């Protein structure tokens, strides 16, 4: 038996009153099965039924009572809406102009709200996320926050701060997953066994870690993220209990997390979690080494952050007393886990939200302007209504209902605009955001964003509809009945339109100036020399599993072979490895001492630690300032040497020859051998273009081969085009070895500018929109004024005025308004730019070039917007006008 | 309270009377109107109008049995009440009086 159309049935079930659903849908189904209805006809009848029953219900009012005729809420609203819809159909040009304007304004606002909501407001998917906190190290002397604590500090906090319900720690571990068709690198973490309980997220399948797995010898286990489970194990629930090959070792999968579980935040989202076994007593007593870990805590419900912070301070002070060699000057700060990225993106987002709000205001102003003009044109209709007994409130209500309809249609179109914009944004996010930002799934249209669209649409209808409606229904309505009267609109209406022009130009000018400042900020960033040449350089990362590459010699040999093989590829000019590339978001730093400059334990100076192969400086074109680069003789058995950068020389060996000075890596009591400085290289910006260069120490890779290294290969053409060949070369050395983070060095630098690029792009987009809206607004007002003054111009021309005089008259009137707007806008921008000073770089908030450029641009646009109607005014045919 | 019947209301009352007593439910009424007048009405419109007539005390309805053809949904059966018959009669009379004498010219009787 054919089934009736399911969607139509569902619609009827959802939309028909309960009492009507059964007989109506039953009748249709019966006719369907009797074979008398086509699918199209079933649909038509179903929709017609819904419409007629809904209309009947509206007409009766909510209580089922039939309202008194002529008045009463829903019925008249319905009438007004129907009338409004008819008007919209009859004036397609007006409707299109208003709807497109509103769609842009509302769409842009919805998109930005959707972004802010997903990235800043939407709570993280943990139990009571407000009570989950990062515990970050706070260095008193420099006033800086560091993300990691030591495991000893974490244990002390867990044991001694009762305001913290629990404390967990985790460490990032690169892990190579093998055993499938192709080796894969996954984002893996070692986590204390209590982490999942602390976050309060139960697994989807299996279990999370048990306490015994958190102790040494407690056995290894793996919990998978939902994404990895789906990608690698085809979402098969029976993987729980099976083994997986992690870095060559077999580990049993014990659980799978649900899709909404994203942890950690503010670092690579984990795909695989393994227990971090801690011998707590041994670490506390110093028998076992303490290591560095990121620490999260759950603040006990009802205690509050302030009280918890006080206890944390007390614990950290005790540690300072007990272990001055490691803990001097170290405190710890609690911060709600969801608030940490707000610190960075929050201010920029606020500016963008303001900008997009301005765009909406301009859109509303333009539509209001259209409605004002139409209100004058409809003067006669409204006067007739008033004469027939419609009260002022009744007329205002009718006009507002029309505005509402316009706004809702604009809002619906705006939702479509936002959908496209948000999808584009999602794919445009750089890798580092995609892999670290939680809640990206919320970035799209959802009930919350659509609710926002609806609210904005209704609010916009009131904003742009109220003044024209009151104006049109004003006390002078009866004047509209007289033939030819009120043609220019009342004086008050004209003044209102002038105010509209000034206001629009003001806002557009201010926004353009702010946008210009952001663009200049981005340009200034691009002008910064990062200290290396990112052009045509391919980069990627390799992480050797410790089981197969247990000895330093094996690792050194792998990377030396890889560097040599890559460098010998056709089209590769030079290639080298380093443990952390600039702008890779990875960094390494450590304490050191200079021979002859003793440092107190715990207060050793710190420098960036780089382990590089011989070809690295050449491939990156990092200039050698003094001495020599690494050479083949700096092998594992060669004399220990180091190269430092200029920032190091300035900070630590100023005033003497750095070459030949000896440094020792590690703390003051480090057993490491002293290294002779053999060269000085130029400074490289590592984390951000705007951050100053930090002191750096380079050591030869062969003397300190870290398991994870990053390749820099200078190519002859498009670097990404060489990725496949390089990957093949690596895999020929070791087929089980994945490569990752494959991208050009320019992309690497560009991703670090993501915030600046996004801010500049969005501000440019929105200020361009604002400019366009303002231009249309100015044009509309002036053109309308000209059309209303045709008679006057005709008289003037007949009395001997030259067309040029008329043109000048109109132009002068319009440009006066535009000039007032530009001045007011510049003043507004001057005030507003103080507030965004912190987001600018290399350009002052009062940057004269930006202000001048924007003023000239707006002057030109304004002149064009006024010029066209002015020119038309000058060409008025006096005879034809006077005859009208 | 209105004391006249609209055209569609008259069609509905006539259709209920035309269909044999127990068979007068929505789908049957609809096909009856369609068969005799060629007019296609949406079930929703029919029930809206019947609902109005019921509240005016002109027809009454009861819920019937579900059938498999209806996807297990129940029918609503209608019956014209005496007040309905009287009003229908009056409306038809009025129409007829208005049309009297026009036949030779227009063919309306």
Write the DSSP string, A233-248: HTT-GGGTT-EEEETT
How far off is chain B from A50, nearest CA to CA, in Å? 6
Is the pTM for the entire model greater than 0.90? no
Q: What pLDDT score does A341 carry? A: 63
Binning pLDDT at 50, 70 and 90, where does residue A68 land?
very low
How far off is chain B from A83, nearest CA to CA, in Å? 22
Task: Answer yes or no: do A182 and A263 share one domain.
Answer: yes
Chain A: residue nearest B28 by CA? Answer: A27
Place of tokens 């009859």: A90
How far off is chain A from B49, nearest CA to CA, in Å? 9
Interface touch A26/B75, C-beta < 8 Å: yes
Q: What pLDDT score does A60 carry? A: 61
Question: Would an 8 Å CB–CB cutoff place A30 in contact with chain B?
Answer: yes
Exposure class string for A341-365: b at 16+ Cβ within 10 A, else e = beeebeebbebbebbbbbbbbbbbb
Chain B: residue nearest A23 by CA? Answer: B75
Tokens of A243: 């083994």
For testing contact with chain B, the best of A11, A17, A24, A55 (most B CBs within 10 A)? A24
Q: β-strands A243-246, A164-178: how paired? A: antiparallel
Instruction: For residue range A80-104, list pLDDT tens digits in order.
Output: 888 888 888 888 888 888 899 999 9
Task: Answer yes or no: do A242 and A314 share one domain.
Answer: yes
Q: Check residue A640 and report its DSSP letter.
A: P
Question: How many angstroms separate the Cα of A118 from the Cα of each of A359, A442, A444?
Answer: 22, 5, 8
pLDDT more than 90, % of chain B: 21
How far off is chain A from B99, nearest CA to CA, in Å? 32
Least confident of A10-14, A63-67, A212-216, A689-693: A63-67
Q: What pLDDT score does A298 carry? A: 96
Strand partners, B80: B59
Residue pair A60/B87 in contact (Cβ under 8 Å)? The answer is no
Query: Average of pLDDT values for A501-508?
Result: 92
Predicted-assembly ipTM surpassing the 0.85 threshold: no
- Chain B residue numbers touching A23 (CB-CB < 8 A): 25-26, 43, 47, 73-76
Angle between helix A745-752 and A754-788 (nearest 10): 60
Residue A354 in any domain: the answer is yes
Least confident of A81-90, A691-700, A728-737: A81-90
Q: β-strands A222-224, A249-256: how paired? A: parallel
- How many domains, in total, are found in chain A? 5
Task: Answer yes or no: do A468 and A521 share one domain.
Answer: no
Interface touch A31/B25, C-beta < 8 Å: no
Q: What pLDDT score does A668 carry? A: 66
Q: What pLDDT score does A650 carry? A: 93
Chain A: residue nearest B69 by CA? Answer: A30
Residue A231 in any domain: the answer is yes
Sign of the Cα torsion A24, A25, A30, A32 reads: positive
Least confident of A17-21, A394-398, A473-477: A473-477
- Looking at per-residue pLDDT, the higher value among A98 and A11 belongs to A98
Residue A537 in any domain: the answer is no
Q: Which helix (H) or strand (E) holds A170?
A: strand A164-178
- CA nearest A666: which of A289, A371, A346, A300? A289
Task: Answer yes or no: do A409 and A321 share one domain.
Answer: no
Binning pLDDT at 50, 70 and 90, where does residue A483 land?
very low
How far off is chain B from A79, nearest CA to CA, in Å? 19
Q: What pLDDT score does A821 carry? A: 95
Chain B positions touching chain A (beta carbons under 8 Å)? 25-27, 30-31, 40, 42-45, 47-48, 51-52, 63, 66-67, 69-71, 73-76
How far off is chain A from B44, nearest CA to CA, in Å? 4
Nearest residue, CB atoms, A26 vs list B48, B52, B71: B71
Binning pLDDT at 50, 70 and 90, where does residue A363 land?
very high
Q: Where are the domains of chain B?
A: 7-106
Q: Check residue A314 and report its DSSP letter.
A: H
- Choosing from A66, A94, A114, the residue where a domain stops is A66
Nearest residue, CB atoms, A29 vs list B40, B47, B70: B70
Nearest residue, CB atoms, A48 vs list B31, B42, B51: B42
Task: Answer yes or no: do A788 and A866 share one domain.
Answer: yes
Sign of the Cα torsion A380, A386, A391, A397 reads: negative
Q: What pLDDT score does A168 carry? A: 95
Q: What pLDDT score does B2 carry? A: 65
CATH class of B7-106: mainly alpha
Query: Average of pLDDT values for A458-474?
Result: 83
Q: How far apart are CA A317 and CA A327, in angstroms?
A: 9
Alpha helices, DSSP H only, in A682-744? 723-733
Structural domain of residue A39, as residue ranges? 6-66
- Chain B residue numbers touching A22 (CB-CB < 8 A): 63, 73-74, 76
Interface touch B70/A30, C-beta < 8 Å: yes
Q: What pLDDT score does A877 carry? A: 80
Question: Would an 8 Å CB–CB cutoff place A66 in contact with chain B?
Answer: no
- Choosing from A20, A47, A66, the residue where a domain stops is A66
Residue A433 in any domain: the answer is yes
Q: What pLDDT score does A65 carry? A: 44
Q: What pLDDT score does A64 carry? A: 43
Query: A832 burial class (0-12, 13-18, 19+ CB within 10 angstroms)?
Result: middle
Q: What pLDDT score does A443 carry? A: 83
Q: Give one word for A207, left, alpha or beta, with left for phi > 0 and alpha for psi -120 to 50.
A: beta
Instruction: For residue range A334-362, list pLDDT tens digits in order.
Output: 988 877 666 666 777 888 888 999 999 99
Interface touch A24/B71, C-beta < 8 Å: no
Residue A533 in any domain: the answer is no
Query: Average of pLDDT values for A196-216?
Result: 91
The overall average pLDDT reported for chain A is 86
- Chain B residue numbers touching A51 (CB-CB < 8 A): 44
Instruction: For residue range A514-544, list pLDDT tens digits in order.
Output: 999 999 998 998 889 999 999 999 999 998 9
- Please provide the DSSP assignment of A732-788 as one string: HH-TT--EEEEEEHHHHHHHHTHHHHHHHHHHHHHHHHHHHHHHHHHHHHHHHHHHH
Reply yes or no on whether the pLDDT at A36 is more than 70. yes
Interface touch B70/A27, C-beta < 8 Å: yes
Task: Answer yes or no: do A456 and A492 share one domain.
Answer: no
Of A47-51, A110-114, A821-825, where does the model show the most confidence?
A: A821-825
Alpha helices, DSSP H only, in A836-877? 848-874
Interface touch B70/A16, C-beta < 8 Å: no
- Choosing from A301, A328, A355, the residue where a domain stops is A328
Q: Give one word for A401, left, alpha or beta, with left for phi > 0 and alpha for psi -120 to 50.
A: alpha
Nearest residue, CB atoms, B45 vs list A26, A34, A48: A48
- CB contacts < 8 A, A to B, total 81
Task: Answer yes or no: do A574 and A498 share one domain.
Answer: no
Binning pLDDT at 50, 70 and 90, where does residue B107 land?
low
Task: Answer yes or no: do A163 and A294 share one domain.
Answer: yes
Cα atoms found within 13 Å of the Cα of residue B37, Cβ hemisphere only: 15
How far off is chain A from B81, nearest CA to CA, in Å? 21
Phi, psi of A676 (to 5 degrees): -95, 130
Least confident of A266-270, A469-473, A683-687, A816-820: A469-473
Task: Answer yes or no: do A776 and A856 share one domain.
Answer: yes
Instruction: For residue range B16-26, list pLDDT tens digits in order.
Output: 998 877 788 88
Interface touch B26/A29, C-beta < 8 Å: no
Query: Average of pLDDT values for A410-422?
Result: 92
Least confident of A31-40, A195-204, A247-256: A31-40
Q: What pLDDT score does A69 carry? A: 44
Q: What pLDDT score does A485 carry? A: 42
Interface touch B25/A53, C-beta < 8 Å: no
Interface touch B43/A24, C-beta < 8 Å: yes
Binning pLDDT at 50, 70 and 90, where does residue A7 land?
confident
For testing contact with chain A, the best of B6, B28, B32, B43 (most A CBs within 10 A)? B43
Task: Answer yes or no: do A286 and A363 share one domain.
Answer: no
Task: Answer yes or no: do A477 and A568 share one domain.
Answer: no
Reduced to 3 states, what is the DSSP secondary structure of residue A720? helix
Question: How many angstroms separate the Cα of A693 from the Cα of each of A139, A147, A587, A626, A743?
Answer: 20, 20, 13, 18, 23
Chain B: residue nearest A59 by CA? Answer: B48
Interface touch A24/B70, C-beta < 8 Å: no
Query: Average of pLDDT values for A379-383?
Result: 80
How far off is chain B from A54, nearest CA to CA, in Å? 9
Nearest residue, CB atoms, A29 vs list B42, B52, B71: B71
Task: Answer yes or no: do A492 and A473 share one domain.
Answer: no
């Amino acid at each position: 038996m054919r089934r009736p159309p399911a969607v139509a049935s569902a619609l009827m079930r959802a939309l028909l009153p309960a009492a009507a659903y059964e007989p109506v849908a039953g009748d249709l189904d019966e006719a369907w099965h009797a074979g008398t209805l086509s699918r199209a006809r079933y649909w038509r009848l179903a929709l017609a039924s819904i419409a007629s029953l809904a209309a009947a219900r509206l007409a009766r009012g909510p209580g089922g009572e039939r309202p008194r005729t002529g008045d009463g809420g829903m019925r008249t609203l319905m009438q007004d809406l129907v009338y409004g819809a008819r008007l919209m159909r009859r004036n397609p040009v007006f409707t299109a102009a208003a709807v497109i304007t509103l769609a842009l304004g509302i769409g842009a606002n919805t998109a930005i709200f959707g972004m802010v909501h997903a990235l800043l407001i939407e709570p993280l998917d943990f139990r009571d996320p407000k009570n989950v906190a990062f515990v970050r190290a706070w260095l008193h002397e420099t006033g800086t926050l560091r993300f990691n604590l030591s495991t000893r500090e974490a244990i002390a906090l867990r044991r001694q701060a009762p305001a913290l319900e629990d404390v967990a720690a985790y460490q990032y571990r690169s892990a190579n997953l093998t055993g499938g068709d192709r080796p894969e690198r996954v984002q893996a973490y070692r986590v204390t066994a209590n982490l999942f309980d602390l976050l309060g997220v139960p697994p989807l399948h299996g279990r999370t870690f048990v306490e015994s797995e958190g102790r040494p010898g407690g056995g290894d286990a793996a919990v998978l993220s939902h994404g990895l489970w789906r990608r690698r194990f085809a979402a098969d629930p029976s993987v729980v209990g099976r083994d997986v090959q992690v870095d060559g070792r077999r580990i049993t999968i014990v659980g799978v997390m649900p899709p909404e579980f994203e942890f950690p935040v503010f670092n690579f989202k984990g795909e695989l979690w393994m227990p971090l076994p801690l011998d707590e007593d041994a670490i506390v007593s110093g028998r076992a080494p303490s290591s560095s870990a990121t620490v999260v805590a759950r603040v006990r419900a009802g205690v509050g952050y302030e009280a918890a912070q006080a206890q944390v301070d007390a614990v950290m002070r005790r540690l300072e007393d007990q272990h001055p060699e490691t803990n001097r000057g170290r405190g710890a700060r609690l911060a709600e886990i969801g608030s940490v990225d707000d610190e960075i993106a929050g201010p920029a987002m606020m500016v963008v939200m303001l900008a997009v709000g301005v765009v909406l205001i301009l859109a509303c102003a333009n539509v209001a302007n259209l409605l004002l003009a139409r209100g004058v044109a409809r003067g006669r209709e409204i006067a007739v209504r008033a004469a027939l007994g419609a009260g002022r409130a009744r007329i205002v209500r009718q006009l507002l209902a029309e505005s509402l309809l316009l706004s809702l249609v604009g809002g619906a179109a705006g939702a479509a605009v936002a959908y496209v914009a948000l999808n584009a944004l999602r794919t445009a996010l750089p890798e580092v955001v995609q892999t670290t930002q939680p809640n990206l799934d919320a970035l799209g249209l959802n009930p919350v964003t659509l609710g926002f669209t609806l609210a904005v649409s209704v609010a916009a209808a009131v904003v742009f509809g109220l003044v024209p409606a009151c104006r049109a229904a004003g006390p002078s309505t009866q004047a509209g009945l007289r033939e030819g009267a009120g043609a220019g609109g009342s004086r008050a209406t004209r003044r209102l339109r002038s105010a509209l022009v000034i206001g629009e130009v003001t806002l557009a000018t201010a926004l353009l100036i702010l946008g210009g400042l952001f663009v200049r900020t981005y340009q200034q960033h691009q002008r910064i020399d990062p200290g290396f040449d990112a052009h045509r350089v391919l980069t990627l990362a390799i992480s050797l599993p410790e089981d197969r590459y247990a000895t330093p010699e094996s690792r050194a040999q792998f990377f030396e072979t890889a560097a040599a093989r890559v460098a010998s590829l056709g089209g590769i000019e030079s290639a080298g490895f380093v443990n952390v590339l600039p702008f890779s978001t990875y960094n390494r730093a450590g304490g050191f001492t200079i021979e002859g400059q003793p440092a107190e334990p715990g207060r050793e100076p710190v420098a960036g630690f780089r382990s590089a192969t011989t070809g690295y400086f050449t491939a990156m074109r990092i200039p050698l300032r003094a001495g020599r680069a690494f050479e083949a003789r700096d092998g594992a058995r060669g004399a220990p040497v180091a190269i430092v950068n200029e920032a190091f020389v300035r900070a630590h060996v100023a005033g003497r020859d750095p070459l030949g000075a000896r440094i020792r890596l590690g703390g003051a009591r480090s057993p490491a051998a002293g290294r002779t400085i053999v060269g000085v290289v130029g400074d490289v910006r590592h984390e951000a273009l705007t951050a100053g260069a930090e002191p750096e120490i380079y050591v030869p890779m062969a003397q300190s081969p870290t398991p994870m290294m990053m390749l820099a290969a200078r190519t002859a053409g498009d670097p990404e085009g060489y990725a496949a060949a390089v990957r093949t070369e690596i895999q020929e050395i070791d087929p089980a070895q994945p490569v990752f983070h494959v991208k050009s060095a320019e992309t690497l630098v560009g991703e670090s500018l993501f915030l600046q690029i996004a801010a500049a792009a969005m501000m440019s987009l929105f200020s361009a929109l604002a400019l366009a809206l303002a231009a249309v607004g100015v044009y509309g007002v002036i053109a309308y004024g000209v059309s209303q003054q045709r008679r006057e111009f005709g008289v003037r021309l007949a009395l001997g005025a030259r067309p040029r005089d008329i043109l000048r008259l109109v132009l002068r009137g319009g440009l006066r308004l535009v000039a007032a707007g530009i001045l007011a806008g510049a003043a507004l921008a001057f005030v507003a730019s103080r507030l965004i000073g912190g987001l600018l770089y290399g350009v002052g908030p009062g940057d004269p070039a930006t202000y001048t450029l924007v003023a000239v641009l707006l002057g030109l646009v304004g002149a064009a917007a006024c010029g066209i109607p002015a020119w038309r005014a000058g060409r008025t045919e006096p005879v034809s006008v006077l005859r009208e | 309270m209105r004391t006249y019947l609209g055209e569609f209301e008259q069609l509905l009352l006539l259709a209920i009377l035309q269909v044999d007593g127990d068979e007068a439910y929505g789908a049957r009424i609809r096909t009856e109107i369609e068969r005799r007048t060629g007019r296609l009405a949406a079930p929703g419109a029919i029930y809206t109008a019947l609902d109005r007539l019921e509240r005016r005390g002109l027809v009454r309805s009861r819920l019937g049995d579900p059938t498999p053809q209806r996807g297990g949904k129940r029918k609503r059966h209608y019956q014209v009440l005496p007040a309905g018959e009287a009003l229908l009669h009056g409306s038809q009379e009025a129409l007829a009086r208005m049309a009297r004498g026009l036949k030779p010219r227009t063919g309306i009787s």
